[in-house]
Structure formats: C-alpha cells, structure tokens
Amino acid sequence: MLPKIFAAAVLAHGLGAAVASPIAGRADASSDTAFTHNVTYSAAVDVNPAFPIHESCNVTLQRQLTRALDETVTLAAHAKEHILRWGGESPLCKSWAGHWRGSNATQETVICDLSFAKRRWLDATCGLRYTVVGSPLNTFWATDLLHRLLHVPQISEGAVEHFAEDYAEVLELAKTDPAKSALDSDAIQYFAIDVYAYDIAAPGQGCTGEVEEA
Ligand SMILES: *[C@@H]1O[C@H](CO)[C@@H](O)[C@H](O)[C@H]1NC(C)=O
Ligand SMILES: *[C@@H]1O[C@H](CO)[C@@H](O)[C@H](O)[C@H]1NC(C)=O
Ligand SMILES: *[C@@H]1O[C@H](CO)[C@@H](O)[C@H](O)[C@H]1NC(C)=O
C-alpha cells in the first residue's frame, strides 16, 4: 500500500472525482499537429508521480504534487548519499548525527490549498533570504512532504518522533542524546535541507544562518 495524497479543499468542496473536462469535445485529430507536445484536453492526468495521488486532486494540483514528491525523493536521496559518501567525516554529519530510514510508505496525508500558494521549490534553497536556522522547516515542498511522510507509520515504523522543537534544540539533542536525535523528525528534515544547501544549492557554503546563543 502506498499513500494517497488528498487535496483538502477539493474534498471539502465535495467535488470528488467529478472533474470531467467541459472542453474535451473540442479535441480532435487535427489539433495534435498544432503543438510540439501532445495536448489531449482530457481530465485524465499524464503525470508519473513517485507516489499515487488521490483522484480528488485536479490536473493542476497533480502536476505540482508530482514535482513536489519528486523533490522530496531528491532531498531524501541526497541526504542519504551525503551520509554514505562522508559518513562521520562530514562536518554536517558531526553536528547532525544523521541517520536514514527506509523508503516505504502507507496511509494518507491531506494537503491544503494554502500549501500550493506558500511552498517553495527546492531550487529556491538559499534564495529569498532563506536560512536553515532562521526559516520554517516547511518553507519547501520537499521538507514539508518529508515531514508528512515521516509521520506515515510504515515509513517511520513508529520510531520517528518529535523530541526537539527548533533548530537550537535539535542541535542540543544531537550533542546530548544522539540516539534520539537520529530519530527526531525535525532533526532529519534540518539535516536533509542543510546538506542539500551545502552540497547543491550553494556548494561548499550552504545557508545555515546564525544559531542564537541560548
Ligand atoms: C484545481 O483545484 C484547485 C483547488 O481546489 C483550484 O484552485 C483550481 O482552480 C483547480 N484547477 C482547475 C483547472 O480546475
Ligand atoms: C500525439 O498523439 C497522437 C495520438 O496518440 C500521436 O499519433 C502523435 O504522434 C503524438 N504526437 C506527439 C508530438 O507526440
Ligand atoms: C514495503 O513494505 C512492504 C510491506 O511491509 C514490504 O513487503 C516491502 O518490501 C517494503 N518495500 C520497501 C522498499 O521497503
């Protein structure tokens, strides 16, 4: 079983799967030649998401969610590669005591309309004044969806929990209780976006930001 992604607003509006396209009738064979890519004017979505997306999401939402899920996989995969490549040698691993769990998934998560207005794409990491320390974890689709997926029991196997509340607490936890830190939902997200920023978004530099002294 894999997760279904719901668009809360679509469900709330009670639209369900009733998204038959009113312009489907206009599509005809001759129109195919007018585009460099195929346009079918159908409500059937031609996207290949990494995870199944619920049919209550319309095409517009499905395209964005597909990209968001792809970015989540990119983010998680890079964090894993960073650990495998550098292990304990990585300065980031040293402060994060990183650890990664499997990629299995089950159950469902609800995504509200507001997400579609606010979440940024991973390419914006280190842009728009973003810092790992100073900005919310859910700034990006990838961190937000990673967070959601970590709460899906068959991914986390019930092991990933909330132990720390913010960046400073997450760092403290990594120092004082590394075993717990490796299973902390926020620590995993901070680690993932921090190494993505350092390795990819702003190579060799990152955008961690300043940790306020307690
Ligand atoms: C898709 O659903 C969203 C959220 O309900 C809505 O804002 C948008 O207008 C819909 N798009 C289409 C093409 O129906
Ligand atoms: C578009 O689809 C039609 C019918 O499925 C196919 O014959 C045609 O080659 C496709 N065109 C492109 C550009 O993919
Ligand atoms: C996912 O979980 C199912 C059921 O527990 C298991 O059969 C499958 O091998 C798992 N897949 C991965 C990639 O871990």
- Which of 24-28, 63-67, 104-108, 121-125 tops mean pLDDT? 121-125
Q: Which of 32, 36, 40 to mutate to test the pocket of ligand 2 (most atoms within 8 A of CB)?
A: 32
pLDDT (tens digit per residue) in 110-136: 777 888 999 999 999 999 999 999 999
pLDDT of residue 85: 84
Task: With a cut of 60, say whether residue 8 has pLDDT above it.
Answer: no
Closest ligand, as measured to the CA of 7? 1
Options 3.40.50, 3.40.390, 1.10.12, 2.60.40; which CATH number does 59-201 get? Answer: 3.40.390
Nearest ligand (C-alpha, residue 12): 1
Interval between CA 53 and ligand 3 midpoint (Å): 19
pLDDT tens sequence across 32-48: 566 677 666 766 656 66
What is the distance in A from the centroid of ligand 3 to the CA of 51? 14
Could you read off the pLDDT of 47-65 as tens digits, one per residue? 666 677 877 888 889 889 9
pLDDT for 16:
32
pLDDT at 18 over 50: no
Taking the CA of 3 as reference, the closest ligand is 3
Query: What value does the mean pLDDT of the chain take?
Result: 73
pLDDT of residue 185: 82
pTM comes to: 0.65
Neighbours of 40 (CB within 10 A): 12
The two tokens of residue 67 are 């990209």
Handedness of CA 117, 122, 128, 130 (dihedral sign): positive
Show the ligand 3 pocket: residues with CB < 6 angstroms: 102-104
Domain chopping of the chain, boundaries: 59-201
Contacts with 154 (C-beta within 8 Å, 6 or more apart), sequence order: 1, 104, 105, 106, 107
Render pLDDT for 174-202 as a digit per residue (tens, 0 to 9): 778 777 777 778 888 999 999 999 999 99
Question: Ligand 1 centre from 61 Cα, in Å?
Answer: 7
pLDDT at 30: 55
Contact 184, 106 (CB under 8 A): no
Q: With 60 as the cut, is the pLDDT of residue 2 above it?
A: no
Ligand 1, residues 19, 53, 54, 58: which to mutate, most atoms within 8 A of Cβ? 58
**Cα torsion angle, 9, 13, 18, 23, sign:** negative
Residue 82 confidence (pLDDT) above 70: yes
Instruction: List ligand 2's pocket residues with C-beta within 6 A.
Output: 32, 38
Amino acid, res. 96 = W
Percent of the chain with pLDDT strictly greater than 90: 28
